[in-house]
Amino acid sequence: MSELISARNAVDEEDSSDESDEESDEDSDEESNPESTLLLRTLTCAPHLGHYVRRLILLTHNHEYDVTLNHIEILSKCPFLEDLKILGYNGYLVKDYRKVLGKLHHLRTLVVSRYGLADRPTDYLGYQSDCIELLRKLSSLKHFLVATSPSDALRAYSKDRRISLIVHT
């Protein structure tokens, strides 16, 4: 009988340690960037809420891949977004970021910095030619902050479209 009780206690202890491991894994995911994880979870569970989002500031600490993925998913759920600031992103996801940005047809202001909170640079979200292609998709855009000196082609295109170029180095 005591062997049965000991075996049962060992199974109970093993089950509780598995649960605590799973909980700590979930906690560590949320601790890495709880805001983006929670916002993405909210917009996934209640997709209609994304239609009310007009302004977002998305940032990473040190260009985390999972956080950038969350940001891309969040943007895909906010079709009427008007003002967006992106402060840092993972350079491996630049193409995915550009795709989702090209679908934000109500965007009026776009500020993109390749520096995260840790003040370390990553790849540019778009070089001059990529910027012009992106701007063509964003018909409502009025203000665009660029991190490098804009080319003559970008200046001319912005002037024709009456987009205010703000140079931030």
CA–CA–CA angle 78, 44, 20 (5° rounding): 140
Q: What percent of the chain clears pLDDT 90, i.e. is strictly above it? A: 32
* pLDDT at res. 129: 62
Q: How far apart are CA 22 and CA 116, in angstroms?
A: 30
Give the domain ranges of the chain: 48-167
16-20, 39-43, 83-87, 90-94: range with lowest mean pLDDT: 16-20
The tokens for 14 are 């093993």
Q: Are 121 and 114 in contact (CB under 8 A)?
A: yes
Reported as a single tens digit per residue, the pLDDT across 84-129 is 998 888 888 888 988 999 999 999 999 888 777 776 656 565 556 6
Q: Among the ranges 7-16, 52-61, 71-80, which has the highest mean pLDDT value?
A: 71-80
Q: Which CATH class is domain 48-167?
A: alpha beta
The tokens for 140 are 């409502």
Say which residue, 78 or 114, is predicted with more confidence: 78
Q: Are 36 and 64 in contact (CB under 8 A)?
A: no
